[in-house]
A and B are shown apart, each in its own frame.
Chain A
Amino acid sequence: MSEKVLMKGNEALAEAAIIAGCRHYFGYPITPQTEVAAYMAKRMPKIGGTFLQAESEIAAINMVYGVSSTGHRVMTSSSSPGISLKGEGLSYLAGSDLPALVINVQRGGPGLGGIQPSQSDYFQATKGGAHGDFHMIVLAPASVQEMADLTVKGFELADKYRMTSMVLADGTMGQMMEPVSLEYDIKPAPEKPWATTGTKMQREHNIINSLSLVPEELERLNIERYKRYDEVEKNEVMYEEYMMDDAEICIAAFGIAARVSKNAITEARRQGIKAGMIRPITLWPFPKAPFKKAAKSVKQFISVELSMGQMIEDVRLATECRVPVTLCNRVGGMIPSPEMVLEAIKEAAKNGGAR
């Protein structure tokens, strides 16, 4: 095993992107993800890559669109308000079936909001985030190691399915340091015969395009795209089950909320309450199956979120409302404490849940 080094989440992510073969980064400064840009600004010129501070988030995502059209791995990163601006580009990337990696180190909203950690862009990330029928693959790291690992994974999945992968992190994940190992077996990117890098007068011209004025044609394209999404749902779901073997109370949490919840579960177990957790790692595709299965034995679910309750809707859908799903949340940059989550677990246990 390689030596572990302490790295900030934002920096581990940036270095992992470079290891994954990304040589083009476009961004616009915004707290709390600016370290990604700073890291890229330092590293890219030294390895023959591009770092460009764009005039706007909109320009940055469209530069990503341009690079992706040429078949190269490319990324941009931002935080919540900046991601809203990138929405246009995200829709066009989807409509043109272009792979890209987008990082959202979330902060509290709406509007300018705050700069402390948040998970309130869950809907935006998992339900489209811009106009039209489309999905992004949404990856939710819960450690600095995962910030790096899921970045590499994000590039691979983006290329494999010609989709945008989004790493949905939060201010804590971006700012914290933990030991990481950045050893990866990077597979070569798949051939991209669709790329626009010049015909060399040897083939018909390639066209990267999301316009389709004939409704029948546009319908067909949408249906085909969703067949691809079906494949993603079938093959790429990732989640972690924590102490779920005999769990009677199940926490649903991702990212920093999952880290906090682990403390609460440890304490609940110490007090004799059978608590466990399902931690979605892919938020889209959402891990429906483990939740559905857990709904047969679990007496109550608690969705722990840094939002007013967004993922809870997916938990309810996945469990088909067979058992109660309650919310334990803080917002605006506040983070639920382990004590708060423990209280929620105890409350659930009292209400006929586990003992």
Chain B
Amino acid sequence: MSTTQFLFAGFGGQGILFAGKFAAYKGLIGEKQVSWLPSYGPEMRGGTASCSVIISDEPVGSPIVSKPDVLIAMNLPSLDRYESAVAVGGTIFVDSTLIDRKVERDDVAVYYVPATRLASDNGMPTLANMILMGNILKVMNDFDEESVTEALKKVVSAKHADMLDVNLKALKIGAEYKEEV
């Protein structure tokens, strides 16, 4: 019996909600109970965006994530705002291209992934979110190509089917990334 609460946070336009939706579908395909809750309203327009995703073995109670087990911070304001909220023993994923400071807490695991740089280096500037996502799945021991592809098919609309391959590639780049020591 386990429940994992994710909080994805960053700027509007970074694909925060999309990454969260992918994570939720990935859970659903794994026959878990899931919920996805975005922030909404004016703060969505150009400002910060965030979404709560819960993946659980049992029915999800509150869909609101206030003490994330996993924080995905894609910009500095998000890390500043949510770092202290992460559950003790939780994990923080940091887009280290856009966030130049280190996480101050020592009771959480931290992974620094230069997702935005990797995205532009690989000619996929809009997919830093999925690179980060690939790394998360790898770290959480949950990266298998079959279910990842299946989940992608759910979130990439039929209209943009040509984006499937590049999304998968982004996930793989993230999964294969090893932090430079």
Contact = CB atoms under 8 A, between A and B. Distances in A.
Question: Within 8 Å by CB, do A and B touch in the complex?
Answer: yes
Interface of A: 4-6, 31-32, 115-116, 171-172, 175-179, 256, 259-260, 262-263, 266, 335, 337-338
Contact of A338 (B33, B41, B61): B61
A32 B41 contact: yes
Contacts of B60: 178, 259
Contact of A175 (B28, B37, B59, B154): B37
Interface stretch (B62-70, B113-121, B128-136): B62-70
A262 B62 contact: yes
Indicate the size class of the contact surface on chain B: 20 to 34
A5 B62 CA distance: 20
B21 A6 contact: yes
Interface of B: 21, 24-25, 28, 33-38, 40-42, 59-64, 66, 154
Interface residues of A, dominant DSSP = mixed
Contact of B21 (A32, A177, A335, A337): A177
Contact of A176 (B25, B36, B61): B36
B28 A176 contact: no
Contacts of B35: 176-178
A178 B154 CA distance: 14
A335 B94 CA distance: 28
B79 to A, nearest CB: 22
Interface centre among A32, A172, A335 (most CB of B within 10 A): A172
Contact of B34 (A6, A115, A262): A6
Contacts of A177: 21, 24, 35-37
A109 B145 CA distance: 48
Contact of A260 (B36, B37, B59, B61): B61
A31 to B, nearest CB: 6
A115 B45 CA distance: 14
Contacts of B28: 4, 6, 179
B40 A115 contact: yes
Contacts of A171: 40
Contact of B62 (A32, A175, A179, A263): A263
15 contacts: A6-B21, A6-B24, A6-B25, A6-B154, A32-B40, A115-B42, A116-B41, A176-B36, A176-B37, A177-B35, A177-B36, A259-B63, A260-B61, A262-B61, A337-B66
A175 B34 contact: no
B119 to A, nearest CB: 25
A31 B40 contact: yes
Nearest to B38: A175
Contacts of B34: 6, 178-179
Contacts of A338: 61-62
A179 B37 CA distance: 12
Contact of B36 (A178, A256, A262, A266): A178
Given A6-B24, A178-B34, A172 B154 contact: no
Nearest to B39: A175
A109 to B, nearest CB: 15
A172 B63 contact: yes
Nearest to B25: A6
A262 B36 CA distance: 17
Contacts of A259: 60-63
A176 B63 contact: yes
Given A177-B35, A178-B36, A260 B64 contact: yes
A263 B60 CA distance: 9
A262 B61 CA distance: 6
Contacts of A260: 61-62, 64
B24 A172 contact: no
Contacts of B63: 172, 176, 178, 256, 259
Contacts of A6: 21, 24-25, 28, 34, 36, 154
A251 B34 CA distance: 24
Contacts of A175: 37-38, 40
Nearest to A266: B61
A278 B37 CA distance: 25
A177 B28 CA distance: 12
B67 to A, nearest CB: 9
